[in-house]
Amino acid sequence: MSLELCSTVSDFRDACDAIRASGRSLGLVPTMGALHSGHMALVDYARQQASSVAVSLFVNPTQFGPNEDLSRYPRDLAGDLEKCEAHGVSLIFAPPASEMYASDESTRVVVRGLTDGLCGAARPGHFDGVATIVTKLFAVVGPSIAVFGRKDYQQLKVVQRLVRDLLLPVRIFAHPTVREADGLALSSRNAYLTQEQRQRARAIPRGLLRAMHSFARGERRAVVLRDSVRDELGHAHLEAEYVTLADPESLAPVELGGAVGSTALLALAARIGSTRLIDNVVLGEETALSVSEEGSKAEGSEHA
């Protein structure tokens, strides 16, 4: 079936209804567009889990703060269409903001606790925007599965939690982070980097890898693990917004004076010039930074 592009909620809802009415299962991959191989790996994985896949391309204004990059966020509808066609996507949804938010809208989906730390601390309201748009997309599409990337680990946990708490009939799959050959996580925001900044950005995977190696050698002191990342960022003159060890499920931070358990989320946000990049690994779960999207296996979880 050929790719169909919808820009209104009503057209998209009808197209999704028609797919489900024909007995096909529907998978959703929500994105903000400017698609790269990381996004396409999620699409490929969704296609293995559902007979038809819908991709949303929507730069969601409610998840951007007043001084963030909403207006300059990269957009490439023609390129996105081409990639989606090549990867067998059935439906694309690229609405204007007015389709998703009425001018007098007054509803937010708020996930408490999980959103207090990490990116939530520096981006107040960000996860309310994320939780709200994801809930709206689920309401329009009615997907049986949806795929999210572990690159945005806190977002993944927020979505899993809202699906569980609101009893939504959708199964959430998590896909591993897809990386460049030198380990940098693919991100639409990498397009902002100059060549020199792109080189310096290699400190991010280098730091994560150093922490993974020292964890593998038995290091459990939170401060030492954290500092292996902070030191690498510092040497490359990247400004660390946070480098945090946390419980991989509750996202509760591990005290710096304490020790991590058998697994720990090591997550960071760093600024290079005006570009903010995030990355993470789960120590004790991941033993290497996978650089290949080929054969990377996603993990399914109903409500973890």
15 vs 42, beta carbon nearer ligand AMP = 42
Q: Which helix (H) or strand (E) holds 162?
A: helix 153-165
> For the purposes of burial, counting CB atoms within 10 Å of the CB of 295, is it exposed (0-12), middle (13-18) or buried (19 or more)?
exposed
3-state secondary structure of 41: helix
Q: Which of 80, 152, 232, 286 binds ligand AMP (CB under 6 A)?
A: 152
Q: Which stretch binds ligand AMP (CB under 6 A): 3-11, 78-86, 178-186, 205-213?
A: 178-186
Cα–Cα dist 105/60, whole Å: 14
Q: What is the smallest separation between the CB atom of 179 and ligand AMP, expressed in angstroms?
A: 7
Part in contact with ligand AMP (CB under 6 A); list of ranges 9-17, 183-191, 213-221, 268-276: 183-191
Of residues 123 through 142, those in contact with ligand AMP by CB under 6 A are none
Residue 245's beta-bridge partner residues? 266
Which stretch in 46-54, 114-122, 170-178, 225-233 sits in contact with ligand AMP by CB under 6 A? 170-178
> Which residue is catalytic, options 36, 39, 87, 175?
39
Two structure tokens written together for 214: 């020292």
Judged by beta carbon, residue 129 or residue 207, the one nearer ligand AMP is 129
Q: Which residue of 126, 151, 206, 230 would you call a contact of ligand AMP, by CB under 6 A?
A: 151
Applying CB under 6 A, what is the total number of residues that bind ligand AMP? 16
For residue 31, give both structure tokens: 């994105």
Judged by beta carbon, residue 76 or residue 231, the one nearer ligand AMP is 76
- Residue carrying the six token digits 């996580």: 185
* Closest separation in Å from C-beta 186 to ligand AMP: 4
Contacts of 133 (CB under 8 A, 6+ apart): 30, 58, 60, 62, 63, 100
**Between 42 and 222, whose beta carbon lies closer to ligand AMP?**
42
Name the 3-class secondary structure at 141: helix
When the beta carbons of 72 and 217 are compared against ligand AMP, the nearer one is 72
Residue type, 153: Y
Strand, helix or coil at 39?
helix
The interface region with ligand AMP, picked from 101-109, 182-190, 203-211, 257-265 by CB under 6 A, is: 182-190
* Count of positions (residues) in the chain: 304
Task: Please report whether residue 188 would count as binding ligand AMP according to CB under 6 A.
Answer: yes
The residue written with tokens 């509808």 in the block is 77
From the centroid of its chain, how far is CA 71? 20
Q: Which of residues 33-62 bind ligand AMP (CB under 6 A)?
A: 38-39, 42
> What does DSSP say about strands 264-272 and 145-149: parallel, antiparallel, or unpaired?
unpaired
Instruction: Choose which of 83, 175, 200, 276 interacts with ligand AMP (CB under 6 A).
Output: 175
Decide if 175 is catalytic: no
In sequence order, the 6+-apart residues with CB closer than 8 A to the CB of 282 are: 153, 248, 263, 264, 265, 266
**Binding-site ranges for ligand AMP (CB under 6 A):** 31-32, 38-39, 42, 148-149, 151-152, 175, 177-178, 185-188
Known catalytic residues are 39
